[in-house]
Amino acid sequence: MITRLKRSRQMIRLVRPMELTSSDLIYPVFIREDGKRFEIPSMKGQMYYSLKSCSDVCSKVVNLGIPAVMIFGLIKKKNVDGSVALRKNGFHIEIFRKLKKEFGDDLVLISNVCLCDFTLSGSCVYMEKGKVLNEKTAKMLGKIAVVHAEAGADVVAPAAMADGQVRHMRSALDEAGFEDVSIMSYIKTDSCLFHPFFKAVSSSKTPRKGVDSSKFRTDIINRKMFMAKVDLDISEGVDIIIVKPALTNLDLILLTKQRYPNIPIAAYQVSGEYVMIKAPSENGYLDENALLMESLNSIKRAGADMILTYHGLEAAKLLKKEF
Ligand SMILES: [Zn+2]
């Protein structure tokens, strides 16, 4: 009789095989070089921070028991080939130096490493005549990873989906003496759920116009293609896999967990999922907190060991209230 196991709230808690905690969460933080601090229009409730004010939100993260932040640096001047990423004393260097100095080992600093942060086109990869230049992209990502590691990043997260990106990053980091810096690679299905994020990180009214993301993300319908990318990144020495988005890829989280039970898996509850949780509550259709906890628990149940979520601060507060 299953009802016996549901006799009381504490009985229900007791028999749970897993429990979401604040230590499962990673909070993404957007930091602007122009120093402006305001609410992100495409992601209401989330803020852009300045170099100065990012310490405040990181303190909140630490105080809520969240172990890590994913840093997105929004630079003032991008260039065609993204080589500004390698400039001395660039904005990302300032961010990591500052946060490492202030928080030390109390906060894991994860750096999002992608060409779109630095290229005028907003493309995540180098392309020529419609073809992705994997090696050229991967080599550049390796160089950027070293710059961020030198400045204090604990983990680098290649986001370009280029074949060979983990291999190049690992060897570049090792050669530079950063054997202890982990690589956490994104594996993304081609999804409309990234759109509010691209609106947030692009100054253009039509973000990433002309960028064909189907060339570098995996086909949402094709799980074999997704798993082939997982296999490739693991063969290249990745430490942690990020499945992105989470909601539409719960089966892929489970598949990855089953195939690689010893590799930590992160799931990214992306910007589109964030607004999908926010919007119905604004109209009174659904309870935001209940929907948030249900979705996070379903992601964890699918096999995620950690979850990147824009609802990180709210989720950690709710988890504190749980008795
Ligand atoms: Zn990118």
Average pLDDT for runs of 10 along the chain of length 323: 92 94 98 95 95 97 98 95 94 98 98 94 89 95 98 97 96 98 97 90 70 84 96 98 98 98 98 96 94 98 98 97 66
Residue 182 within a domain: yes
The number of angstroms, rounded, from the C-alpha of 171 to the middle of its chain's C-alpha atoms is 22
Residue 33 within a domain: yes
Ligand 1 centroid from CA 215, angstroms: 12
Cite the active site residues.
Answer: 188, 244
Residue 59 within a domain: yes
| pLDDT value at residue 215 | 80
Residue 87 within a domain: yes
Ligand 1 centroid from CA 302, angstroms: 26
Residue 220 within a domain: yes
Ligand 1 centroid from CA 232, angstroms: 19
Residue 278 within a domain: yes
| pLDDT value at residue 201 | 86
Ligand 1 centroid from CA 221, angstroms: 21
For the stretch 237-289, pLDDT in tens is 999 999 999 999 999 999 999 999 999 999 999 999 999 999 999 989 999 99
Residue 257 within a domain: yes
| pLDDT value at residue 279 | 94
Residue 169 within a domain: yes
Buried b (16+ CB within 10 A) or exposed e, 219-248: ebeeeeebbebbebbbebebbbbbbbbbbb
Q: Which residues pair with 71 in a beta bridge?
A: 29, 111
* CATH number, residue 30: 3.20.20.70
pTM of the model: 0.95
Enclosing domain of residue 144: 21-321
| pLDDT value at residue 303 | 98
Name the domain count of the chain.
1
Q: How many CA atoms lie within 13 A of 285 on its CB side?
A: 7
